[in-house]
Structure 1
């Protein structure tokens, strides 16, 4: 049995999506700036079913409605951009349309990449989904391309795969890490956990220094070659299933019920 879509007043819906205050939205509606299925809406208090297809049916000032809550973005984070408001420098939120920064619920990053790491970053306003992806028990794999200061010795992959490497200041060894050597000073690694600065710290524990770090995969979702630094795209249901397969998502939902 399908659930009925939730409804919201038109002015609250658009205000929650960052289009302006409720008073500003009321003025926009009076001016004929909002249409649904090609028909101008006249009542800002009209309740609107919030369905996934609304972005294709409603227009605001002649442009398609921004996606309603449940939005998931894939961003190619450039170097020098931060994910935390506590760090100095340009923020990842600055790559998005200005009104998206006023959305309620707010968009948040799914985990973080540090300032000197580039690559695939997810953002969402779905708190439940965010926690399912980052939950340690789900072990969603993440792949990184690593550039190193010094040539590899040759035994690093074996050490990382053993699951015995200890990081400085910790008392629990890392989970096994999959590593593939690409060149004498570069490799790919796949992590199944997300400790603080893990890639940099584990290569430091192996006597090397990371000079370049780029994440190109989360789960089974790859960063497209066509998505350049600073660009973003909205994830489809198919894309999202690559990050957190439906079976795992369903099991996590059941466990938390």
Structure 2
């Protein structure tokens, strides 16, 4: 791939704008030597204004999504893409969220430009465990653990029972719920079905991958070993 197309696809500008960056000498190697559009250079050896080039296609990012932002590109309010460098919104192929967290749910969110990886993670066959912590409006009534684990629980307007889910109770109104499905507003609807209401909801892990040490609104690129943790049991 020509360097102009490569850099433009990473969102640094249109091909015309990137060509101008070459003419201005802003694109160099690690030693500061000016590169030209027809040079053959490894991705890792390209610098723009002295900074390493963004990762190539096939990336997976982990974000600790804060409250008040949505996963939609079209929402008139704040969206998760606003928390990334502007050029990440202009990459081709585009970054997409791996599933969604609603505006009132915080925590672990993945984004990728790798369609195959996205479908691998969200596929029901992957059986990826999604772990949430919630605070509730009312005390638990006492039978929620057995009900959620039964594999027979039905949500309103659905015809297929939920797969078994694990409920850990920290306090009468503070719980952790581990599920392997991703139905619409599933956690909130599960507690609503018991006559309760979720006040706060945070996704803390996917498999064994967690947001530990990642501040709200922050993000980082996942390495191969990080991605492998997504597909490991949360209890392993």
- Same fold per superposition (TM over 0.5): yes
Partners of 2:21 and 2:167 in 1: CA distance:
55
1:158 to 143, 146, 150: 146
Q: Report SS of the residue matched to 2:177.
A: strand
2:15 to 18, 22, 40: 22
The runs of 5 or more residues in structure 1 that have no matched partner are 1-7, 246-257
TM-score after normalising by structure 1: 0.86
Equivalenced residue count is: 232
Partners of 1:40 and 1:21 in 2: CA distance:
23
Equivalence for 2:215:
228
Residues 1:219 and 2:207 aligned together: yes
Partners of 2:188 and 2:97 in 1: CA distance:
21
Equivalence for 1:253:
none
TM-score after normalising by structure 2: 0.94
Equivalence for 1:93:
81
Q: Report SS of the residue matched to 2:21.
A: helix
Equivalent pair of 1:33/1:40 in contact (CA under 8 Å): no
How much is the aligned-residue C-alpha RMSD, in angstroms? Answer: 1.4
The runs of 5 or more residues in structure 2 that have no matched partner are none
1:43 to 13, 28, 36: 36
Q: Report SS of the residue matched to 2:148.
A: helix
Moved segments of 4+, more than 4 Å: none
Equivalent pair of 1:77/1:230 in contact (CA under 8 Å): yes
Higher relative contact order (CA 8 A, sep 6+): 2
Equivalent pair of 2:32/2:50 in contact (CA under 8 Å): no
Equivalent pair of 1:84/1:91 in contact (CA under 8 Å): yes
